[in-house]
Each structure stands twice: as structure tokens, then as C-alpha cells.
A and B are shown apart, each in its own frame.
Chain A
């Protein structure tokens, strides 16, 4: 039997504020253990938290970018549990009144539009990190303790893995676009817990769900969900029952394992944090933040369609990542014709990015250099093949493309007589192909162009080559 998949997500995103959520320690990834921490981070007696207004501002920004309502008055709660990475033995979080609620995130899967409802976005502090030593000892590093952390909770609206992946890609790009986080999963800046359940198609009730933790990459999330769907399907099909539990994904083995039930059944004893006063935000402040929001990927897409006449596909490709759209716009600013820039970005640049390691898009190419390169190509000074070659040279070197062309002798061969000499020689060496051509086989033309390019190491001006071949062989 086939089941309908029901998925809900809790996504944690660390903010990139200069300082931590409740003290003035630096919010910085890396660093020697316990160097970015103070009496607040380590919960020394008498230490008090002070709210980082920037983090609150960022959360409101995140809420506005995901169509949330912003609470006019909100406050922080204490969530109590004992664990060595949580110095105070309570996390300052928000249960009763989150900063943002009732949002909506839209995205596309295979050309179809979907909208996922957000239950809330609340602000809290990250915990420290446990480091397990060689001799069985466990050490705590509080550098991460107190980093501002947003939790984005969706309703159980997802009906496929593809929707989950598209949603994650979308919110990642939104949060990057509004500049509140780099969302780098390998640094733990974006983390995700996934709730999965199954139900017969058409059933109005939800099935029993399981929660998966320890999902450290997009790939892991995708694999874990697929694994969990097939695990639950097998249990249901064999007449079994799903146990509501928390599962830990093992990415090496590719399986989910139950976590100890102790970690699963906590009474957090939430109550409003008496060390912090409620915050009230005025409509004017919210309006001001709204006006400061940058153009978001979805708006950018329709802007590109209108402004440049791009197809839906091209506009999506150029707008969905902030790094890509930023680079595209810089290219246009540097004088590259938009369609040309789009072709290159979706062509050779996309190839280069695919070859890079990691899930992050990093473009170091300097737009001015790239514009110069395109200029050389468009002027016929270099061939497309040479242009691709030079692009890879200047990708992360900030060298002048003109100089590279000069140094490496990549200048296009556009001298009529010289090209004519080479073509004549190829024609004389390939009488069969000449016959093919004359008997109407147009593929033979491509053969001659290819041979000429080979002989000139791709430097010959393709237009001129074509013209001469046709001229010499006759129509």
C-alpha cells in the first residue's frame, strides 16, 4: 500500500551578529576553545543577560521576509534542562509569545507552486559544544554558547522530500539575502529537525510521527527522510505500529537509530525570564524594517523577467541564490549584455561551481575582469574556447584577461590569408570529405570547421573560418 507522506520541519538558523545574544562576547565561528566566553556564557553566579537588539531586529526582518505577523510585545522564557553544554541549565528561548508567527514560504517544484505555512519564528540562544577527548573525558567549549539562534517551525505541510528540499533551499536563500545568516550547514549555522509521518491517501488524520535529529547536510536530510519513509511504510504494510520517538540519523551507516527515551521526555518547566523585560515594537519600527528589506529572490525573479525579458527558467536560475544574483547584477553593471551574462553564468560558470567542493557557492571572479573577457570575445579577439580557458585562469586570480591572452598567445586568428592557407591544406588532405560536402552532406562542413580549429588550437575566428570554407568548397 502507498501512503501519503506528511512532514514538518524545525529549522535552527544561527545569526551572524557581531556579538552574542545576551553578552558582548564575539559571535565568531572557530577560535580556540573557550576564548569567546565570559561570566554570562559560563553562567557564573550573579551574571545577567542583556538582549542583543540587533538579533531581535534580524528576527523581525526574517519574519517579514517570510510573511509572518510580528508580535507587538514579546518576551523571553526560560527552558529548563540539565546538560553540560547548557551552562545555566536553562536556555533563554521563547515559548509563550514568539517574535514572529503565522508565516508563509512559497517555492516551486517541477514548475508547480507550493506554499508552506510557518507556525512561528522565535529567538533563543545556542548551546555550547561538547568535545569528547581521547581518554574518555568530555570537555565543554562555550564559544558557541549564547550565539543568537532562530527557530523556524513549519506546520506539517510538506507532502514530499522534493518539497522539503525546495523549501530549505528557499529559506536558506531568503535568510542569506536579508543578511542575517550565512546558513552554512557544515558550520552548524543551519540545522534541521524533521518530523515524518505517513497516512493512507485521503485520510483526514495524521499518523504517528517520528522526529529525526543530527542531520548535518542537505544530502543527509534527503537521505534520512527517504530512509524514514521506507522504514515506516514497511512497518505499516506488515501490520505494525509506528512508535512516536526521536531518531538519530547516522550518515555513515545511512540509518536512523532511536535516541534514549530519557532525552526525549523532558519537562522543561518554561516560565518568563525575570532577568529580561518584555520588548514592545511599534508599527513605525516594523514599517521601517520592512522598508529596509532587500529585494528577495521571488521578487528578483519577476523583476528579471520584466526587465530583461528572461524566460521563467532563466530568471529562476539567476535569482534564487544571492551569490549568483549579486554576481549577475555586477556583471550587468560592468557592461556585459544581460543575456550574454546569463548564458555564461548558466554555462561555464555553473560548470566551475559544480566542480567546487562543499554546498556553498563562492564566486571570487572579479566582474570587471569578466566584462573585459566578454568584451574580447564579443569583439572577435578570442574564440569561445579561448574565452572559457581564460575564464578559468581569472576565476580566482584577479589577473587581467587581456594580459593572459597576450602572454599565452590566445589571440584569435582572424587573418584571412593565414586561415585560407590552413583551410586549403585541410581540403587537399581530405578529398573524401570534400565529396561528402559536395554531395550535400552538411555534416562535412562541421568536420572542416573542427579540423581548422584543431589546427589553430581553437584560436581561429569561427565566423571567418566558416566563410572561407564555404567560399573554397563552393555552395
Chain B
């Protein structure tokens, strides 16, 4: 098959082509690897040296009539997902640059069980802390729509690789928008699942109560397929609580009668006018297609960003304290134990990671705990209640994903300006709800703009219905 055509296929199309004998996993995998090799995107940081053998094996299995919903499909992981193969689980940090995990993440096991060919690991902000990929300890990933711009973050490499045709799908992780935001900025589809739906075992933790793994794909249908495969409870992650479910059936389902909630306070958060207008156009589209639109209220949504940076930093400081240079990872010998800790962590972590660790330890320290951490959890409860009330009136909320399109490298020079980019995405993590980001238009420079739909707990079915309907009838692809 023609290489460009081959790389542009969706997963569903690729599998059909395998079945019709039009192409093979080996051919598709080689095409991806070659594309990565010649790419300027820096989207992929670790290549699976075994990929072609695995592809050949998948082809053999298919010939033998063996099944697997992803049999032979080349897929990328974010670099914070553990694999016990030849690749490091680096989190794009100098601390774990050469670290090899002794076990596979649960999502990896699930992908392998369905026959996926894991071809590599994608670039990311260091330990998932960042919104532009600029905190990666390796060469920064670039936006395939404009190489002078950031791909978004923290799953920037995952989104850039999918948009740049370097794989058929990837997994990202979303703590405060890290799947949805780069998906929006790169023009692909990203899902942040309901908290507790996908096992975090083997995902190097950033903020445990907020982290969720989700799929990044070129079509909504591929997204539903991948989500179906990776979700479901895991006895080794006690925060998972969900039985396996089917989602592909929601693709193209009727949307008439569904209710879309507009929260003024949410939509009024600061964003570029082009972004706002595109979101308003999307609302109009749904209205015209039989979706009911109602007004709802989220009075405290403007506090979400502050709550997020307190809770996520506190958990991050604790989660990253295991990186002490004693058992694995970066180690710089000091004159004594304490000095070895200092030197190893100083050399291993980048500036943004250090900033979050300091912030997190500060809000947890005695004397400040009540004023920051405890208060943040109280506001979190208020926000949860507000979302709960909103979902009594609607099936889905709508909002921009990012206040602007992908910006240029170096454009945001202060931490706060970077943090502000998360303003539309973090509330969703704080309240544990699922949200999907999909392309809904472009700006004057032809840069993609994404829109975000947010559903109530465990209602990804609604998201897939609405997103696939838009994708099919509006046709922004």
C-alpha cells in the first residue's frame, strides 16, 4: 500500500486492511518507524528495538486465525508508562534517563493482550509537569502543524506523534489537562476518563488522586475502541472501581434529546476570542442537531486552578520523594547520606519539577497544612457539589480546552503564564469527571482549536455520542 495512505488510516481502517491482506503489521510498523526516524517532531524518545519482530509475530498470529482487537496495530506509550521490554521508563527526566522497569503497567498488559505492537515511547514534560513539552529533559517535541510552536503538554509527544502520522494511536496521561490540551493543540482526539476507570498501576505517579491514563487518536471511534480495551478495575490499583464496558457502539448514535449545559462562569474564563467563537459555533451546531441547551452554574470554577496547584504539587512532592538515588535512577555520591540525597535530586530533576516539589512540601508542612492543603480539599468538595448539581440539569458540559492555540516556543516565560493554560482543563480532574477533547475548527493561522465536552461520572458514552456526531457531520479531520 502507498505509504502516505497507509499511515493516514484510522485503527479501524488499518485492521480492515490487515484482514483484506492489503497490508501487514510489518509494513505498517516499518512505515511508522521510518516516519519517526526522519521526523523533526522529536515526538518519540524511545524506540522499541523489538517492534518489527513483534509486528511479524502479529502477522503470523493473524494468518493462524488468532484474534486480538489491536492485533498488529502500532501504538505509542507516553514515557511515564512502565514496560519491562528494552525501553527505559524515563518520564523524560534525567533522573530516570536509563531506568528500566521490572514490570509492565496494567494498561501495557491490556494492550499486549489485544495484540498491539508497542513501537516506542513518546516525549513529555518531565514527570508530566508542564503544558508545552518544554520541561522535557530531552529535545522538545514540536507541533506538526507548525514546527515553531509547542505541541502542548504534558502528553505533547503522544499527541504530536498521532497528528504527525508516526503511529496509529497513543496513550497519554491527564492530571490537569495533559491529554486534552495537547490533543486540542495538535488537532486530534483525547479522552480523560472518569477517575478510577483506568488502572494507574505502572503509570509513574504525578498526582495520584488526579492522574488518569487515556487514549489519543485520530478518530473518535478509535478512541472509544482503545478506551474499551484499557479501562476496567484492576485489583492492583485500589482506586479503580469500574467493570469493563463497551463504548464503540456509541459511535454515530443519535444525539437528539441530549442536553448540553452552559456554565457562564466556566465559559467566561479568559480565552482568545477565536477560541471562544469556535466553541460557540460548536454549541450552535449541536443546537441545530436537536441537542437541548440549558444554562447551569459553576460559581466557584475560578478557584479550580489554585486548588489544582496545591493538591497536585502536594501529591507530587510525596510521590517523587522515592527518587532518592538509593535504589535506582540518578545517583551522585555525596560526602554522606544526606549529601547524596541532595546531589542526586539536584542533578536528576529539572527546574519545573523542583518548583512543584518545593511548592508541595510547603503546603504540607506543619503550620501551613490547614491554610493550604486542607482548605484546597474543602474547595474541592464544593466544586464536586457544584458539578453534581449541574449534571442534574444536563448530560454534558461544554468548554474550551485551552485559552489559545499552540503558542511559540519560549513565548510563556513565567510559571504562572504556563499554569494559566490549564484553566479550562483542571476543574475536570478536580471533580473526577470524564472529558473528551476533539478538533472543532482552526484559527486564522490554520492552527487547530479543540473543544471539550465533560460528562458525569462514568458517562463516557455521552461524550462519544456527541463527539462522533460532530466529527461525522461537521467533518473537521
Residues of B48-95 whose CB lies within 8 A of A:
80-82, 89, 91
Verify B238–A140 contact, CB threshold 8 A: no
Q: Is A51 an interface residue (CB 8 A)?
A: yes
Known: A46-B82, A48-B200. A39 touches B365 (CB 8 A): no
B367 to chain A, nearest CB (A): 9
Q: How does the 8 Å CB contact mask read for A37-50 relative to B, with 1 for contact and 0 for none?
A: 00100111111111
Residues of A46-88 whose CB lies within 8 A of B:
46-51, 78, 80, 82, 84, 87-88
B446 to chain A, nearest CB (A): 39
Task: Pick from B81, B89, B201, B341: contact of A48, CB below 8 A.
Answer: B201
Q: Is B41 an interface residue (CB 8 A)?
A: no
With most chain A CB atoms within 10 A of its CB, the pick from B101, B105, B239, B322 is B322
Complex: A84 Cα to B321 Cα, angstroms: 12
B-contacting 9-mer, from A104-112, A171-179, A210-218, A266-274: A266-274
Verify B366–A267 contact, CB threshold 8 A: yes
Known: A269-B365, A271-B373. A48 touches B318 (CB 8 A): no
Closest to B199 in A: A48
B395 to chain A, nearest CB (A): 27
Q: Is A131 an interface residue (CB 8 A)?
A: no
Q: Is A235 an interface residue (CB 8 A)?
A: no
Q: Is B99 an interface residue (CB 8 A)?
A: yes
Q: Is A403 an interface residue (CB 8 A)?
A: no
Verify B200–A80 contact, CB threshold 8 A: no
Task: Pick from A44, A47, A78, A277: contact of B238, CB below 8 A.
Answer: A277
Q: Is B285 an interface residue (CB 8 A)?
A: no
B342 to chain A, nearest CB (A): 10
B430 to chain A, nearest CB (A): 13
What residues on A are CB-neighbors of B221 within 8 Å? none
B327 to chain A, nearest CB (A): 6
Q: Is A89 an interface residue (CB 8 A)?
A: yes
A-contacting 9-mer, from B138-146, B203-211, B299-307: B203-211
B77 to chain A, nearest CB (A): 12
Q: Is B202 an interface residue (CB 8 A)?
A: yes
Verify B321–A50 contact, CB threshold 8 A: no
What residues on B are CB-neighbors of A51 within 8 Å? 238
Complex: A47 Cα to B105 Cα, angstroms: 9
Q: How does the 8 Å CB contact mask read for B222-246 relative to A, with 1 for contact and 0 for none?
A: 0000000000000111110000000
What residues on B are CB-neighbors of A50 within 8 Å? 235-238
Verify A275–B208 contact, CB threshold 8 A: yes
**Interface size bucket, A side?**
20 to 34
Verify A271–B318 contact, CB threshold 8 A: yes
Task: Pick from A45, A140, A274, A277: contact of B322, CB below 8 A.
Answer: A45
Residues of B316-343 whose CB lies within 8 A of A:
317-318, 321-322, 324, 326-328, 337-338, 341
Verify A48–B327 contact, CB threshold 8 A: no
Complex: A67 Cα to B96 Cα, angstroms: 49
A-B pair number, CB within 8 angstroms: 95
With most chain B CB atoms within 10 A of its CB, the pick from A87, A267, A275 is A275
Verify A45–B96 contact, CB threshold 8 A: yes
- Secondary structure dominating the interface of B: loop
Complex: A413 Cα to B151 Cα, angstroms: 103
Verify A43–B341 contact, CB threshold 8 A: no
Verify B203–A271 contact, CB threshold 8 A: no
A188 to chain B, nearest CB (A): 22
Q: How does the 8 Å CB contact mask read for B348-372 relative to A, with 1 for contact and 0 for none?
A: 0000000000000100111001000
B378 to chain A, nearest CB (A): 13
What residues on B are CB-neighbors of A88 within 8 Å? 321-322
A151 to chain B, nearest CB (A): 20
What residues on B are CB-neighbors of A44 within 8 Å? 82, 101-103, 328
Known: A80-B318, A271-B369, A274-B207. A48 touches B324 (CB 8 A): no
Closest to A22 in B: B238
Q: Is A276 an interface residue (CB 8 A)?
A: yes
B197 to chain A, nearest CB (A): 15
Verify A45–B82 contact, CB threshold 8 A: yes
Verify A269–B101 contact, CB threshold 8 A: no
Complex: A270 Cα to B201 Cα, angstroms: 23
What residues on B are CB-neighbors of A277 within 8 Å? 238-239
Verify A89–B322 contact, CB threshold 8 A: yes
Verify B315–A274 contact, CB threshold 8 A: yes
Q: Is A90 an interface residue (CB 8 A)?
A: yes
Known: A274-B209, A274-B315. A43 touches B322 (CB 8 A): yes
Complex: A46 Cα to B238 Cα, angstroms: 13
A48 to chain B, nearest CB (A): 5
Complex: A43 Cα to B96 Cα, angstroms: 14
Complex: A45 Cα to B327 Cα, angstroms: 11
Verify B237–A48 contact, CB threshold 8 A: yes
Complex: A45 Cα to B235 Cα, angstroms: 18
What residues on A are CB-neighbors of B207 within 8 Å? 274
Complex: A222 Cα to B254 Cα, angstroms: 78
Known: A43-B327, A267-B366. A48 touches B238 (CB 8 A): yes
What residues on A are CB-neighbors of B103 within 8 Å? 39, 44, 47
Q: Is B390 an interface residue (CB 8 A)?
A: no
Closest to A262 in B: B338
What residues on A are CB-neighbors of B201 within 8 Å? 46-48
Verify A90–B99 contact, CB threshold 8 A: no
B260 to chain A, nearest CB (A): 32
Q: Is B314 an interface residue (CB 8 A)?
A: yes
Known: A50-B236, A88-B321, A88-B322. A269 touches B102 (CB 8 A): no
Chain A to chain B contacts (Cβ below 8 Å), 12 pairs: A45-B82, A45-B322, A46-B80, A46-B81, A46-B205, A47-B201, A80-B364, A87-B327, A267-B365, A269-B317, A269-B364, A275-B238
- Please give 11 more A-B residue pairs, beta carbons under 8 A apart, in addition to A46-B82, A84-B326, A274-B207: A39-B102, A42-B327, A44-B82, A45-B99, A45-B101, A46-B89, A46-B105, A47-B103, A89-B321, A274-B209, A277-B239
